[in-house]
Amino acid sequence: MLADLIQVYNRPNPLVRTPALEIGDKMNRKSLLCTGALLLLAVGIAYAAENDAFMGTWKLNEAKSKITTGMPKNSTVVYTADGDNVKVAIDGTDVNGKPYHSDWTGKFDGKDYALTGDPSTDMRSYKVIDDHTLLTISKKGGKETISARIVVSADGKSRTVTVSGTDASGAKVTSTQTYDKQ
């Protein structure tokens, strides 16, 4: 009789729920959360590294450049991280030889972001082609005015910008500008 009573007592009761997490499950959940956090960190580092070749201050090397009349000349270009965006500040001269400073802040995602300080452009987009190449398109009033292919050398010490667009009269113009990293 006592044996029957013990069997009934030890039988699982379908109405009583056991805790969903056991000690091992708690450890698995912690491991999963830590792994997820590490993956997010790795993605952030990879994004920063992807744009790292472009970051810094670039000075125009006029001796190696072929700047066509009717094209602006960017003397200094500075790329800096601004949170999850990139800020590009340019100092140079416009097509009339007047000095200007422009600022652009956005992502290298191919979408248009506002540009200030350049009278010939109000929007610009940058798109990553590979870890050393960017494509940028500048627009005024929604119309493309200039496109440029920016290629950073394998050693990261110089970059070549091949620009094409139209001048004020509508004629096609191109130039190649070489920059040295400072």
pTM: 0.71
Cβ–Cβ contacts within 10 Å for residue 158, how many?
Answer: 16
All structural domains of the chain with their residue ranges:
19-52, 55-181
Helix (H) or strand (E) holding 45: helix 23-52
pLDDT in tens, 81-120: 998 999 999 999 987 889 999 999 999 999 999 999 988 8
DSSP code at position 64:
G
| Domain 55-181 of CATH type 2.40.128.20 | yes
pLDDT in tens, 41-58: 444 444 444 568 999 999
Q: In whole angstroms, how far apart are CA 82 and each of 105, 132, 156, 164?
A: 8, 20, 21, 28
Write the single-letter amino acid at 7: Q
Cβ–Cβ contacts within 10 Å for residue 148, how many?
Answer: 19
